[in-house]
Amino acid sequence: MGKNWNWSYQVGRERRFTAEINKIEGRCSSIEPGLHSHDATMQSFYNKGWASVTMAEVYREHAARQGRLQPKPQRNNKDYLWNH
């Protein structure tokens, strides 16, 4: 994959987060991916990035932007694998 394709995918995710959070906060009423590029491949990766966002991720991002998100506790994976 080219670097621009990865960038288009990431931009799609970021714009979806922004659009969903704006909808949650009542700043807009509809959400559509829109046109990112006239290049079909880049637009395809943008759309895939847009579609990859789940509502759980949106709520987590919304909480993080408001400062309400508590950090996840860190665990030692080696101990976890051997003790369970």
State the pTM of this model.
0.71
Per-residue confidence (pLDDT) for residue 47, from 0 to 100 = 94
Both tokens assigned to 67: 């400062």
Token pair 């909480």 in the structure block, residue: 63
Distances (CA, A) of 52 to 2, 33, 48, 71: 19, 12, 6, 23
Please state the separation of Cα 11 from the chain's center in Å.
9
pLDDT in tens, 7-56: 999 999 999 999 999 998 888 877 888 888 888 889 999 999 999 999 99
Distance CA 16, CA 23 (A): 10
Q: Look at residue 63 and tell me whether its pLDDT is greater than 90.
A: no
